[in-house]
Amino acid sequence: MYTISAEEEKKILHFLQSQGCCLRCCLRFIGYRTSDCYCKPFEFATQIDSFDIKDYTSLEETPCIVCVGILQDKTQEKVIRKVIEEVNKKGYDCTTFTCALTVPISVKLREHILYAHMSKELGIHKSVIDSLRTRLQNIKDAWKSFMIPKLEHAMKKCADLLTPSPFLIEIFLMYANDEIILKKLINKYKEGNNKQKKRKYNDNIFSKRNIETLLTETTDEQLVQHFTLSQILSETFVSVENILCSHSSIFIGGCYNKFSRKLSQTPWFINGEKKVDTSVQDLLCNPIAETVKAESIKFLSSGREDVDVRNIYGGRPFAVELLNPHMTNITNELLKHLAANINQLTKQVQITSGLKVLSRPDLRKLKEGENVKTKFYRALCICQNVNGDILPQLEDLNKLKNIKIIQKTPIRVLHRRPLNPRTRIIYEMRVRWAKPHELKLLQNSVESTNMFFILDVKTQAGTYVKEFVHGDFGRTKPSLCDLLNTEVDIVALDVTGINLQWP
C-alpha cells in the first residue's frame, strides 16, 4: 500500500477543510480508525502536526459537505434525546442493546465526488488517491465508535456488539435534499447510455443498490464533469427520521389441562364470525403477553385437541412466542405468579406444571415430539347392537398389540387438510363397561348401561382416535367397528397422556 507523506497529508487535509468537511470526516478520509480519534477528535487532532485545529472549530456550526451532520455533535444531541424518549416510552427493560444506523444514500455519492475533485485539483498521484479510498473509515463505524458510549451512558444500558443483544435500536437519519443530488446522477447516467444499454431499475430508483451500481460504472472524470463541489454543499443538517426499538422473541412454556368440551384450542372463525367466545390460546397466552407487554403472540403446542375433547391428567405441552416483548426480566417468582393468576381466572383451562422460559432447543423438542411421541386417550363408546356375543369380543381387544391402521384424511377435516392416507399404530387397548357415574353427564337418558363401554388406548402421535372408533364410513381400516364386527360410535373423548418430557 502506498505510504502518504506528511506533506501530501497536509495538502489533503487543507483541501478537505476548505470544502467544508467536519473534523471527523477529515479523520475518516485520512484513514484514522481508532475510537479515540472519533470520541475526542479535537484533542486527537492537536497531537497531529498536519492539523491546524483553529480551522475546524467554525466548521462544526455548519453541515459537513460529506456526512451532512451525521458525525457532528449538534446532530448527536438530537439522536440521543429521541432514543431516550422512545426507549422510555415503550418501557424496554433489557440491560443490553445493539444499535443499527441507516444513513442517507447520498453520503456515498458525496464521498465519490470529493475524491474525484481531490484527484483533479490537488495534482496528487493516482496511487495516493487509490490508497486513500482503501483507507476510508466507514461512516457507520466512525459514528458507532463515539455514539455507542454516549448511548450507554444516557440509557444506563451496555452495548453488546458481539452476541448481539436481543434488544435492537434502529436509528434512521434522513437528509431533506437527498433525492435532488441522486436524481442528477441518474439523469446524467441515462443521458450517456443508449436505449439498448439502459439500466432496468427496480421500483425504488434511489435504492442503495442502484446508486452503488451506478457509482461503480461512473468514472472520476464523469463525476467532475457532472458535479461541482458547490452543488453538494449542505444547507441543512441531517434529521432523525425515525427511531425503532425491538426485542427478539422470548418463549414461555408449560403444560395445560383443558376441562371444557366447548373450547377451541385457537380462536375459531368461520366466514369472519367467531364460533366460540374464547380459546385455550386466549386464556393461556393473553395474560402472559399483557404482563411482558408483547406486541403479538404465536401459540405453539404438541398437537391439538378438538373443541369437544378434554385434556386431563398430565396435560398438553405448549409454548407461547412473545414477539417484541418490552419486559424481559422474567424471574421464577413472576412465572409462578403468572401460572397462579391464569389458573385463578379460568376453570376451563389450568396450567399443570410450572411455567418456564424456553430455549430454541426446547422448541425443537416440542416440534419433534409431534412425530415421535405416544399419546393416551380415554373414549366413552356406545355399541348400537348389543348381544351376548359382544362381551368376548370386547375382552379380546385387551390382548391386541401394535395394530397397524390406515387412515384417509377424515371427512370432518377434509376442507383444511390434503387427502392423504397415513399409517398409524395402535399400541394397546383396555376395554371395560362404563360405570353409572361415568354416564351421569350424558344429556340423553339411557335405558341400559350395558351398551356403553370405556376404551383406554395408547396410540402413535397423529392418530385420529374418533375415526378409529367409528370407522369414518370405511375411511379408517381396521376400525373398532371392524374389530368388534358391530356398529360403534364415540360419545366423548379425553386425552389422558402425552409421552413427552416438557418443559
Distances in Å between the alpha carbon of 464 and those of 428, 457, 460, 495? 15, 12, 10, 12
Domain residues for 393? Answer: 373-498
Within 8 A by CB and 6+ apart from 403, the residues are 425, 426, 478
Say yes or no: 242 and 314 in one domain.
no
Tens of pLDDT, residue by residue over 279-318, are: 999 999 999 999 999 999 999 999 899 999 999 999 999 9
> Within a domain: residue 337?
yes
* Average of per-residue pLDDT across 487-501: 93
Q: DSSP letters along 324-344, please? A: S-S-----HHHHHHHHHHHHH
Domain boundary among 246, 268, 289: 246
* 353 vs 441 pLDDT, higher one: 353
Domain boundary among 246, 272, 295: 246
Say yes or no: 181 and 282 in one domain.
no
- pLDDT computed for residue 368 by the predictor: 75
Say yes or no: 190 and 237 in one domain.
yes
Say yes or no: 96 and 229 in one domain.
yes
- Residue 315, Cα to own-chain centre: how many angstroms? 28
390 has a pLDDT exceeding 90: no
Say yes or no: 84 and 203 in one domain.
yes
- pLDDT computed for residue 326 by the predictor: 97
- pLDDT computed for residue 202 by the predictor: 47
Angle at 51 between CA 49 and CA 56, to 5 degrees: 160
Domain boundary among 336, 371, 406: 371
- pLDDT computed for residue 197 by the predictor: 44
* Amino acid letter, residue 124: I
Q: State the pLDDT confidence band at 189, using cuts at 50, 70 and 90.
A: low
139 has a pLDDT exceeding 80: yes
Say yes or no: 147 and 285 in one domain.
no
Say yes or no: 268 and 380 in one domain.
no
Pick from 144, 170, 174, 147: nearest CA to 239: 174
Pick from 399, 390, 392: nearest CA to 451: 390
CB 453 within 8 A of CB 432: yes
Separation of alpha carbons 369 and 340, rounded Å? 27
* Average of per-residue pLDDT across 317-340: 96
> Within a domain: residue 10?
no
* 416 vs 82 pLDDT, higher one: 82
Say yes or no: 278 and 136 in one domain.
no
The CATH number for 436's domain is 3.30.70.3190
**SS3 at position 14:** helix
Q: State the pLDDT confidence band at 392, using cuts at 50, 70 and 90.
A: confident
- pLDDT computed for residue 198 by the predictor: 46
Tens of pLDDT, residue by residue over 468-492, are: 999 999 999 999 999 998 999 999 9
Total structural domains within the chain: 3
* 479 vs 225 pLDDT, higher one: 479
- pLDDT computed for residue 192 by the predictor: 56
> Within a domain: residue 19?
no
Say yes or no: 201 and 260 in one domain.
no
* Whole-prediction pTM: 0.85
The lowest-confidence range among 163-172, 180-189, 336-345, 453-462 is 180-189
- Reading the block at residue 356, the C-alpha cell is 418456564
- Reading the block at residue 62, the C-alpha cell is 455548519
Tens of pLDDT, residue by residue over 33-70, are: 888 899 999 888 888 776 777 666 666 789 999 999 99
Separation of alpha carbons 254 and 267, rounded Å? 20
Distances in Å between the alpha carbon of 342 and those of 110, 337, 354? 58, 9, 12
Pick from 42, 49, 52, 69: nearest CA to 17: 52
* Average of per-residue pLDDT across 239-245: 96
416 has a pLDDT exceeding 90: no
